Amino acid sequence: MTRGALMYEELEELELARKKIKQLDERVQKNDELLKYVLSEWRWSLEVSSKFVNLSWNLTKLHDYSDLEDNWDCDGAKAFSKELIDLARGKIILLDTQPKVFPTMRESIQFEYEKEDGDYLEFEIYEDRIEVFRIIDEHEEEFKLSVDENLNKIVNEFHGINNEEG
């Protein structure tokens, strides 16, 4: 075989190798897109599951609070009314981000959010009002809401979530 024929054969092999590399690259890209899709679906599923678990946990806590009797804290706290528990349950169900939930001795249920940077948001749910306390960048603020207010706008704003429906 002549040197020219050998070079031509090597060029053909090189071209064939380039085509195979291109095909493999296209497969990798398709697989990469598929993998990204699967991961995004998995993350979404995990997020939904996590939200459901947190919601279930909070609803269980509220149910447990409804069973508390007078003097549940051994310091004279009154039992929680069915109306208060139902109001808190309705608020919890509508929240996009679940809070930590606590009973208080002031005949209220407290919803609490806290960030690592020290920012803090608290809703104290009473039968006839909601008291809000928040600390943002070390600035404290308190205000009251009616029980008909949707808390999502305030919660989403606290978490930096832009949600027009709030």
User: 84-143, pLDDT tens digit by residue?
Assistant: 999 999 999 999 999 999 999 999 999 999 999 999 999 999 999 999 999 999 999 999
Nearest to 152 by CA among 91, 95, 98, 111: 95
Question: Other C-beta atoms within 10 Å of 29: how many?
Answer: 10
The span from the CA of 150 to the CA of 146, in Å, is 9
pLDDT tens, residue by residue, 144-163: 999 999 999 999 999 998 75
Question: Rounded distance, CA 79 to CA 73, Å?
Answer: 10
E strand or H helix at 9: helix 3-66
- The DSSP code sequence of 19-33 is HHHHHHHHHHHHHHH
The model's pTM:
0.71
Residue ranges of domains in the chain: 12-158
